[in-house]
Structure 1
């Protein structure tokens, strides 16, 4: 017994219904992707809004200078880690990074910045695990054993980076050099703040504490 074939009109109607559903399904899928992206970005966006727009601490402004527009870690920036292995700096995404730049000889100002960064991180108490101190070394000369002992991994990373690539990413102030500053990078890998030359660690601590409070990412 043969199965009856659908009439031409029934086939045409089924095709029309399928065509009507397809654009709707495509639009629904596209909106779902947009919604997912918004959910992922929401924590960092919220922290920026609360810190720079709402200003929960009595309307006070930040100590660090906000970097605009955003400067993400360059995808092509490759650094050398403490074991001599190459890695993309983007591998550091997922944590808040306090970054300083200097040659491996690390003069007095360099040591002072490393000390400030260590203290600011430690004073975040339970939140300190969300923060990593990063020293971008502009040469591959040996680092003093005293400094290595005082600033061990993984709390402090000492990474060799190409100085030209670092200078293209991190902006110095109008009256300062790149090596004068501490920078803050958010967990998405975007350069967020530059702290002044000869910084006051208590004010850096306050900025970082507010950001950690209002953002749960990283």
Structure 2
């Protein structure tokens, strides 16, 4: 009986041996997996970097722990934009919209031109809070909105050369600036953000170190203005 020698498998034939188990993945599959891994790594790093900023805003504007808000000043909710019709007049007689001063953090005091002791105290506090911001102080502008035509004493002009002293309609200011219960707008210092939104009111007879704390945090957390 004759025997036949088994033929070696032909290249490309159906009998070619299967790839051994555990052989490497196809190159295109490995590249796709690597790309997916890189994307996940990128988003994880971005999340880690953004988390402190997001948490700080959430803590300042949203969380209100027992005992009150995290801020010393009272947050104005909802925010009140500067009314388009609200104008102010300088000693040079030029009248401009108050909204044209947007772009800085505005600390505002309202009083008559005679400016008694409470008025002078507010001007002093605003000047000191601004000065203590160091290099960031240029982002803050202090305003005295005067409610009458009484002349400003030269001693005040000399003491507060960086405070803009502008006349405004007192009725329009009352409509825009909310006062605490049993208080008037002349009792408070107000803070307007660089977008022109009234956002905070400080109490009558305030603690300037606590005002400084609020302003410092806002300047630190916000890059606007």
Please tell me the TM-score bracket, short chain as reference. 0.7 to 0.9
Alignment equivalent of 1:158, drawn from 146, 165, 171: 165
- Distance (whole Å) between structure 2 residues aligned to residue 170 and residue 54 of structure 1: 25
Alignment equivalent of 1:199, drawn from 192, 206, 222: 206
Unmatched segments (≥5 aa) in structure 1 = 1-44
- Distance (whole Å) between structure 2 residues aligned to residue 73 and residue 131 of structure 1: 17
Alignment correspondent of 1:187: 194
Q: TM-score if structure 2 supplies the norm length?
A: 0.71
List per-residue Cα deviations over 1:175-195 (Å, max 9, x = no partner): 311111000000000000000
1:129 is the counterpart of 2:141? no
Alignment correspondent of 2:179: 172
Do 1:100 and 1:183's aligned partners in 2 also have CA atoms closer than 8 Å? yes
- Distance (whole Å) between structure 1 residues aligned to residue 56 and residue 200 of structure 2: 13
Alignment equivalent of 1:120, drawn from 120, 129, 139: 129
Shift in Å, 1:85: 0.5
Alignment correspondent of 2:94: 85
Shift in Å, 1:47: 7.7
Alignment equivalent of 2:217, drawn from 191, 204, 210: 210
Shift in Å, 1:140: 1.6
| Greater per-residue helix proportion | 1
Q: TM-score if structure 1 supplies the norm length?
A: 0.74
1:67 is the counterpart of 2:115? no
Superposed CA RMSD: 1.9
Do 1:50 and 1:214's aligned partners in 2 also have CA atoms closer than 8 Å? no
> Per chain length, whose mean CA-contact separation is higher, i.e. which structure has more relative contact order (CA < 8 Å, sep 6+)?
1
Alignment equivalent of 1:141, drawn from 143, 146, 150: 150
Do 1:64 and 1:194's aligned partners in 2 also have CA atoms closer than 8 Å? yes
Shift in Å, 1:60: 6.9
Unmatched segments (≥5 aa) in structure 2 = 1-53
Aligned length, in residue pairs: 169
Specify the structure having the higher radius of gyration (Cα). 2
